Amino acid sequence: MPDAPRQDPPGSDRRLEPAADHGEETYRGSGRLAGRAAVITGGDSGIGRAVAIAYAREGADVLIAYLDEQEDADAQDTARRVEEAGRTCVLMRGDLADPAHCRAVIARAVQAFGRIDILVNNAAFQRTYETLEDIPDEEWDYTFRTNIGAMFHLCKAAVPHIPPGGSIINTSSIQSDNPSPMLLAYAATKGAISNFTAGLAQLLGEKQIRVNAVAPGPIWTPLIPSTMPEEKVKSFGKDTPLGRPGQPKELAGIFVLLASEEGAYMNGGVYPVTGGRPML
User: pLDDT band at 3, cuts 50/70/90?
Assistant: low
Measure Cα distances from 8 to 3, 5, 72 in Å.
16, 10, 15
pTM (predicted TM-score)? 0.95
CA 7 to the chain's CA centroid: 20
pLDDT of 5 reads 61
The strand ranges marked E within 123-202 are 167-171
Beta carbons within 8 Å of 34's beta carbon, 6+ residues apart: 58, 59, 60
pLDDT of 8 reads 67
213-242 per-position pLDDT tens digit: 999 999 999 878 887 788 788 889 999 999
6-25 per-position pLDDT tens digit: 666 676 776 788 999 999 99
Domains in the chain: ranges and CATH: 13-20+30-273 (3.40.50.720)
At CA 167, angle to CA 178 and CA 123, rounded to 5? Answer: 50
pLDDT of 232 reads 83
User: What does the mean pLDDT of the chain come to?
Assistant: 95
Residues labelled catalytic:
186
User: pLDDT band at 131, cuts 50/70/90?
Assistant: very high
